[in-house]
Homo-oligomer: A and B are copies of this chain.
Amino acid sequence: MIVLDDRADDRTRADRLVGDVTDGILSGLFAPGDRLDEASLAERYGVSRTPVREALRRLASSGLVETRPRRGTVVASLTPERLAELFGAMAELEATCARLCALSMSPVERRRLEDHHAAMETLVSAEDVDGFVSANLAFHTQIYAGAHNGHLAEIAAGLRTRLMPYRRAQFRMAGRLPRSHAEHGAVVSAILAADAGAAHGAMLRHVSLVEDSFERLALRRPR
């Protein structure tokens, strides 16, 4: 039997739609406030309304879109206040993870974190923004994992993806790379020294500074 492109994996259509629509939102194809009409999405992706509905419901529970009964779904548009809350929550969560890392990371984990941070130095000198962005994600993921609390890690990672679209241009700001790297250094040192308070503070400062740079960006290009 000839199997067309449809049978690549056992993921359901709704699963794939969640990914596709998420990408659409993150890429700007669907802008905040845009109406996500079930029939149009179904046609666009070549499926029926049923899996589209399921995907939209899941996106709603993750906060990427907002659905009101019988009134349809729109891409979530975050008010500046709400956005600040999300950034603040993420900063606190990451700081908490860093604190737990300082307390409970295994020697191997500490070593890997140190190595990873050292390796990022190269990316900074080369001004390899894309490489840094990707390594940065890995760095923070290591922090989540080092907290040894899967649920905290889930929450933090979820928040990070959700805030991704609002952070894209950040690392392209002049001098942001070396600064981020230096801040990472403070976090790593504190964790290696098992200084919980310092790790918390350093991470809180780091993520909050990223937030600041976002806000300056947002002010320059409102809406």
Residues of A within 8 A of B (CB): 10-12, 15, 53-54, 57-58, 61-62, 69-70, 82, 85-86, 88-89, 92-93, 96, 100, 149-152, 155, 197
Contacts and interface: CB of A to CB of B under 8 A. Distances in A.
A183 to B, nearest CB: 20
A185 B27 CA distance: 49
B89 A155 contact: yes
A85 B92 CA distance: 18
Nearest to A63: B151
Contact of A69 (B12, B53, B61): B12
Contacts of A150: 82, 85
Contacts of A57: 54, 57-58
Nearest to A152: B89
B10 A152 contact: no
Nearest to A12: B69
Given A54-B53, A69-B15, A92 B100 contact: yes
A100 B204 CA distance: 13
A197 B156 CA distance: 22
Contacts of A10: 69-70
Contacts of A197: 197
26 contacts: A10-B69, A10-B70, A11-B69, A12-B69, A12-B70, A54-B54, A57-B57, A57-B58, A58-B61, A61-B61, A61-B62, A85-B149, A85-B150, A85-B151, A85-B152, A88-B149, A88-B151, A88-B152, A89-B155, A92-B96, A92-B149, A92-B152, A93-B96, A96-B96, A155-B155, A197-B197
A152 B69 CA distance: 25
A40 B149 CA distance: 36
A149 B89 contact: yes
